[in-house]
Structure 1
Amino acid sequence: MKNKCLVILAVSTLMLNIGCEKKTVENTASTSVSPSGTEVKMEGELPSKESIPALFDEMDFQQATQCYLWGLPIVAFAEWQQQHYKVFNASSNDLVLYNSYHDRLGILTANATTPYIMTFIDLAANGPTVIEMPAGHTAGGLADFWQREQAVIGEMGPDKGKGGKYILVPPTMKDFKPAGYFIVPCTTVNMFFGFRALDPDPKVTETLLKQVKIYPYDKRANPTPTKVISPPAGKNWYGIQPTGIKYWERLHAILQNEPVEDRDRFFMAWLRNLGIEKGKAFAPDERQKKILIAAADKGQQMAMANSFNKRFADVKHWPDKKWDYVMIIKDPSQHADNYDEFFERTSYFYEAVTYSKAMITKIPNVGQAYLGSYYDNAGNWLDGSKNYTLNIPANPPAVNFWSITVYDSATRCLIDNPQQNADLSSRKDLVKNADGSIDLYFGPKAPAGKEKNWVQTLPGKHWFTYMRFYGPTAAYFDKSWKMDDIKEVK
């Protein structure tokens, strides 16, 4: 009994001491600093009243940076769509042909080797929309505005390259299934359609283009002819995410038209605190505007780190080399076990547009494979003022062709150099070594006698590159063919 009393007394004394210590803490003012530098004056364990506004600013800023990352794919497509409509004067039912080097300068990480044919289709304006695809050697597909593949068209699609009629069904008309069409239930109101003619003969591309038709289903009896439009000559444009407050203006505008998915409801809640809400005009006050501009700047820096220095597992094709898999999203749905691929999606769609299963093929001799390099062999950013070389060993693992393309790190678009060339490929007349390998060169000036194997870079600008294999062979997948890193020439 005596021991029991002693225990009770000891516990009571301990609780009393804790209570005293707690009371002392409550009456002690202190200051804490957040990782982003916000100072918060504390009154005991509570923030002072005068610090509350700073905490809300901090909360809104942090959430805005994540909303920036979240919005990258839809903002890229929305901005590019506006270029089609406002700069090119193309409609939902027209095709835009990106054929020349200048045509493709405004596209995120475009291939400089083959022409693109693309359009953006507004189902709110059109209703159900028909795409008539002719037979031919083509690769293409449909994507929603979150850049999720909705259908493959062409040789790897249900038409098997023999042609056919596809119908795009708006999200509000899921039961609309007319006979005689390949049905494409769409998850967004705005849709992207693009394809490439894989035959190198430009006359074949021209013939194919004349046979593609796009028109509203309710105009099928007498459709308006589909026009083929080219970007305006000599006029610079960019179909990339804008910066600053314009990023949020574009995000607000496209969100007005698109359904909100369950996965995105928290982001929509965050955006409400920043003046972005469905059904309401975008009119941020000065506090919100300041936060949004700062968050777009910080968010872009995060996106650069997330894209150019990928921190994902098994991202290197060869573990001891600096060649990353560009396609790190495991499935076009962007779903993984127990989570959605937020950071993978952010990484890819900051630096690129469009995604397809054909781009992540595991079957030899079909589809494509993409590797990206952002560093030289010493681990330094690729610098436009320096000279580099890259050796391509003999017999690159590509059934169709391979190409390596240089991009401006700031725009993620083809490098706009005086040479007006950004790529070297097996379709060009490159000088080969005696062993069948090829030495490529990158720098402000061509090494003497190496002009054919050279891409001009720009001093004061960083760059990165994609290596593409069209029809990657078994030697790519089993890694028996191996490429070295890009090396600076001192």
Structure 2
Amino acid sequence: MTDLGDAQLWGDETIETGFGSVELENTFPTDASSALLFDQLDAQRAAQGYVWAMPLAGFVAWRERAAETFGSTGFGDFVVYETLREKRGILTANLTTPYIINFTTLTDGPLLIDYPAGATAGGVLDAWQRPVTDLGQTGPDEGRGGGYVVLGPDDDASPFQDSGRLVVRSETVNVMVAFRILTDDPQEAAAAREGLKMSRAGSDPAPVRYIEDIDQEWSATPRRGLDFWSDLALILQEEPVREADKGLMAMLEPLGIVKGEKFVPDERQRGILADGAALGELLVRNLQVNPRYAVPYWDGTSWYKSFDFAVEQENATILQLDQRATWFYEAVTSTKGMVNPTPGAGQVYMTAKRDSQGRLLRADRGYRLHVPAGMPVAQFWSLTLYSENTRRAYDNGGTEIRSVSLDSRDEQLQFNDDGSIDLYIGPCAPAAGESNWMKTLAPDGWFVYFRLYGPTEPFFDKSWSMPDFQAL
């Protein structure tokens, strides 16, 4: 017998691999070894297909589960996610401002949007969760409102050249229209909601329908096992195949995911797909915890920028598979304002999975985060706690948003005399009291997003920095 690394790959040889013994007779794989090699080939492809599919998987999981939970199945249906239970279904949702979300197909023609003026941030995203255009303060309208035309992959742009609207094109037929209202002024918020209108090309803009006050637990976490592939097969049938994705589509074909064909995997494929989804998730979770393509934002800390790649998900030489898989495993959506904020505008999401000693954060241990004074934000900041298992807001039994999200507008927070603040996470409340504390429950691991809204120059030049969590 020969170890794989020492194999000659000729003549009569038995080769030991991590997945079994492969026999060659007269240099050819035997029939039994051929089956073993095909299983291994397809298992590897399934795991890599999982990594590749992360943005699509998050999109379709959210669309399908929201339709089931909130009944958002009509054109112009926007779900308003405001309560803790409504938001807890969304991967790493921001719990400080409402989300207003619509899923629309462009198969019925271009989409017209009349977008309102005001303090909002949002965008139109394609099915790969890439921004087609930002909306609001970080969009072309810069918060002044305006008209948009969203074309599908093959739609003709010429009818809209003199429409006075900004014309953009999606590479996918499925799109998400999303925005958040950043003001706490009720009149401004109401005006923004009332000002949003949508229609198909050739029809007059019409007010949208807001679905709200559902207050129900639900989950947009991509499903595991064979359900993951069922969701993926569903949206792949709806979408055109991009040139960049033909290689991965070829890898999925032997597993029963074929464009134009119904997904009915046989017993062998089902087993390989289930294993591939589990291995794929482990591969991505490792990238999420140990993003080897990036370095911490502040030297000597474990704080990373959560979204640290191009919104196009590619550069001049590569499709950024690992980078986007990391983000879309634990989060959803992307906008230019999230990735390329400018001083005083946009958002920055910082994340940590380790403490000041470099140890992974634990749910059975208490921690203190000392946030120095002079937080560089033009708007506000928030610290939100998430489950590593679901990547959704942590379920610690609390019923109020502040049980898993603390922010600078929270009047219950206790600041230090010098303007700094100590925030606590762990299974037991600190001696200082519960006002600055969020509870964890073992064995569900956790991580955080520290969001800076309207980051200012000291963040960008790093003259202000934040230390790591300290174990208590």
Q: Could you state the TM-score of these two structures normalised by the residue count of structure 1?
A: 0.90
Three-state SS of the structure 1 residue aligned to 2:343 is: coil
User: Deviations along 1:447-490, whole A, 9 cap, x unmatched?
Assistant: 2342110111112110000111111111111111121111111x
Give the distance between the partners of 2:431 and 2:35, measured in 1 at CA. Answer: 63
* Matched residue, 2:4: none
Three-state SS of the structure 2 residue aligned to 1:87 is: helix
Give the distance between the partners of 2:100 and 2:227, measured in 1 at CA. Answer: 27
Q: 1:264 aligns with which of 245, 254, 279?
A: 245
Which stretch of structure 1 is more off in the superposition, 249-258 or 159-168? 159-168
AA partner of residue 460 (structure 1): P
Offset at 1:354?
0.9
Three-state SS of the structure 2 residue aligned to 1:466 is: strand
AA partner of residue 476 (structure 1): F
* Matched residue, 2:316: 337
Q: Is the 8 A contact 2:85 2:218 kept in 1?
A: no
Q: Is the 8 A contact 2:370 2:423 kept in 1?
A: yes
Offset at 1:94?
1.4
Confirm or deny that 1:33 pairs with 2:17: yes
Three-state SS of the structure 1 residue aligned to 2:177 is: strand
Which stretch of structure 1 is more off in the superposition, 466-475 or 380-389? 380-389
Based on CA coordinates, which of the two structures has the bigger radius of gyration? 1
* Matched residue, 1:128: 110
* Matched residue, 1:320: 300
Q: 1:245 aligns with which of 203, 208, 226?
A: 226
Three-state SS of the structure 2 residue aligned to 1:335 is: coil
Q: Number of aligned pairs?
A: 458
Q: Is the 8 A contact 2:341 2:348 kept in 1?
A: no
| Counterpart mapping for 1:388-467 below 5 A | 388-420=367-399, 421-429=403-411, 430-467=413-450
Three-state SS of the structure 2 residue aligned to 1:241 is: coil
Give the distance between the partners of 1:241 and 1:27, measured in 2 at CA. Answer: 46
Give the distance between the partners of 2:448 and 2:230, measured in 1 at CA. Answer: 31
| Counterpart mapping for 1:179-194 below 5 A | 179-194=163-178
Q: Is the 8 A contact 2:56 2:127 kept in 1?
A: yes
The unaligned stretches of length 5 or more in structure 2 are: 1-7
Q: Structure 1 residues 189, 27: CA separation in 2 closer, same or farther (over 3 Å shift)?
A: closer
Which stretch of structure 1 is more off in the superposition, 450-459 or 174-183? 174-183
Confirm or deny that 1:164 pairs with 2:146: yes
* Matched residue, 1:52: 34
Give the distance between the partners of 2:384 and 2:446, measured in 1 at CA. Answer: 10
* Matched residue, 1:383: 362
Which stretch of structure 1 is more off in the superposition, 114-123 or 280-289? 114-123
Give the distance between the partners of 1:354 and 1:176, measured in 2 at CA. Answer: 29
Three-state SS of the structure 1 residue aligned to 2:233 is: helix
AA partner of residue 116 (structure 2): P
Give the distance between the partners of 2:255 and 2:300, measured in 1 at CA. Answer: 44
Q: Structure 1 residues 474, 242: CA separation in 2 closer, same or farther (over 3 Å shift)?
A: same
User: Deviations along 1:174-200, whole A, 9 cap, x unmatched?
Assistant: 435421322121111000111111112
Offset at 1:208?
1.5
Give the distance between the partners of 1:391 and 1:61, measured in 2 at CA. Answer: 45
User: Deviations along 1:279-332, whole A, 9 cap, x unmatched?
Assistant: 11111010000000000000000010111211014x211121010111111x21
Three-state SS of the structure 1 residue aligned to 2:449 is: strand
* Matched residue, 2:99: 116
AA partner of residue 183 (structure 1): V
Three-state SS of the structure 2 residue aligned to 1:336 is: coil
Offset at 1:26?
5.4
Give the distance between the partners of 1:92 and 1:103, measured in 2 at CA. Answer: 21
Confirm or deny that 1:86 pairs with 2:85: no
Q: 2:286 aligns with which of 300, 305, 326?
A: 305
Give the distance between the partners of 2:300 and 2:10, measured in 1 at CA. Answer: 55
Three-state SS of the structure 2 residue aligned to 1:73 is: helix
AA partner of residue 33 (structure 1): T
The unaligned stretches of length 5 or more in structure 1 are: 1-23
Three-state SS of the structure 1 residue aligned to 2:465 is: coil
* Matched residue, 1:288: 269
Offset at 1:45?
4.0
* Matched residue, 2:89: 106
Three-state SS of the structure 1 residue aligned to 2:22 is: strand
Give the distance between the partners of 1:25 and 1:276, measured in 2 at CA. Answer: 32
Q: Is the 8 A contact 1:136 1:163 kept in 2?
A: yes
User: Deviations along 1:383-424, whole A, 9 cap, x unmatched?
Assistant: 222111110011111111111111000111111222232111
Q: Which structure 1 residue ranges, 4+ long, deviate > 6 Å from structure 2?
A: none
Give the distance between the partners of 2:253 and 2:368, measured in 1 at CA. Answer: 50
Give the distance between the partners of 1:361 and 1:73, measured in 2 at CA. Answer: 19
* Matched residue, 2:212: 230
Q: Structure 1 residues 366, 253: CA separation in 2 closer, same or farther (over 3 Å shift)?
A: same
Give the distance between the partners of 1:25 and 1:122, measured in 2 at CA. Answer: 51
* Matched residue, 1:371: 350
Q: Structure 1 residues 111, 26: CA separation in 2 closer, same or farther (over 3 Å shift)?
A: closer
AA partner of residue 182 (structure 1): L
**Aligned alpha-carbon RMSD (Å):** 1.7
AA partner of residue 397 (structure 1): P
